[in-house]
Amino acid sequence: MRASWQDPSEPRGASFGMPTLTRAVRALLIANIALFVLQWVVLEGWFQPAFQFTEDAFALNPLQWRDHFPLVPLWQLVSYAFLHGGPSHLLYNMLFLYFMGTMLEERLGSERFLFFYLVASVLAGACQLVLGLALGQVAPIVGASGGVLAIVFAMATLEPYMRVIFLIVPVTLRTLALIYGSLVLFDAIMDLKGATNNVANFAHLTGALFGFLAVRGGWIWHDPLAQVGEWRVRRARARADADRERMESLLAKISRVGIHELSERERTFMKRYSQRR
């Protein structure tokens, strides 16, 4: 499928139907909601020290990265995206993840979709961390917004003329993404000017840009697991070819000077090679 903001696809009618949950989106929804209940209902209510430990250990904490560099908590680049600062924060992200994520997962497949979402979250967190520190913003960063914005903009790039219902108004995905992106860009510019509203605007902007570029550049269709498998096959073939050439060389050496001239290492190799065969 071509990916462009100007693709002349057929306009689709707005639909009020609820999409069927896909495998990866279901897992992400369960993880986010379960961790929110654990953190804000269980720990915050009855185990305050454990609640604070969760915040300190798993939110993306700029002070920890600044003060402990280079021994930084790398896991926070993933874990921060599964924590949220309140019910409205969670609801907002989960609704977009449900409606947009299911559509994108149907096109990409579960593994590719999950990889795309996690990469977007990591990049969004890293960008917010670096730019935030440069601007003196040291508040902990939480939320799935970076990954969610990547999904929204990826879908809007794939299906710009698809109509959805937004606040009871039917709009195209392209229009929704442009409105959403404009608000995020405005807030990010205000951050650069020194204003702050404790919103990770650079993470949002990074996620949106990544979602758009991933489709336009074709990266979104790459299957990392398949690529790893292909690399392992190529490496195994290369090693087999190298071992065969070495074995042939040793056999030629034996025919010239006899087996007694082989070193212990060469004898060991020949034994292992024969056993593999």
pLDDT of residue 277: 64
Q: Are residues 62 and 129 in the same domain?
A: yes
Last residue of a domain, one of 200, 222, 244: 222
Structural domain contains residue 173: yes
Q: Are residues 86 and 134 in the same domain?
A: yes
pLDDT per residue, tens digit, the chain (277 aa), is 333 333 333 434 444 567 889 999 999 999 999 999 998 888 877 888 888 888 889 999 999 999 888 889 999 999 999 999 889 999 999 999 999 999 999 999 999 999 999 999 999 999 999 988 888 888 899 999 999 999 999 999 999 998 887 767 788 899 989 988 888 888 778 777 766 666 788 899 999 999 999 999 998 988 777 777 788 888 888 988 888 898 889 888 888 888 888 888 888 888 888 877 6
Domain that holds residue 95: 23-222
One domain for residues 158 and 249: no
DSSP string spanning 11-52?
P-----PPPPPPHHHHHHHHHHHHHHIIIIIIIHHH-HHHHH
**Statement to judge: residues 246 and 110 lie in one domain:** no
Let me know whether 143 and 239 are in one domain: no
- Confirm whether 10 is domain-assigned: no
Residues 182 and 163: their CA atoms lie apart, in Å, by 19
Domain assignment present for 5: no
pLDDT of res. 12? 43
Residue 1's pLDDT is 39
Q: Are residues 168 and 53 in the same domain?
A: yes
**Does one domain contain both 45 and 77?**
yes
Q: Evaluate whether residue 233 is within a structural domain.
A: yes
Give the separation between CA 230 and CA 132, rounded to whole angstroms. 39
Task: Indicate if 64 and 77 belong to the same structural domain.
Answer: yes
pLDDT recorded at residue 217: 92
Residue 167 within a domain: yes
DSSP three-state, residue 241: helix
Asked whether residue 56 is assigned to any structural domain, the reply reads yes
Q: Which of 189, 205, 222 is the last residue of a domain?
A: 222
8-state DSSP, 167 = T
- Indicate if 135 and 178 belong to the same structural domain: yes
Handedness of CA 154, 160, 165, 171 (dihedral sign): positive
Residues 262 and 247 reside in one and the same domain: yes
Q: Into how many domains does the chain fold?
A: 2
Q: Is-above-0.85 flag for pTM?
A: no
Residues 150 and 243 in one domain: no
The CATH number of whichever domain residue 69 belongs to comes to: 1.20.1540.10
Whose structure tokens read 């609801």? 91
Indicate if 163 and 82 belong to the same structural domain.
yes
CB neighbours of 23 closer than 8 A, spacing ≥ 6? 105, 110
Q: Is residue 146, in this structure, part of any structural domain at all?
A: yes
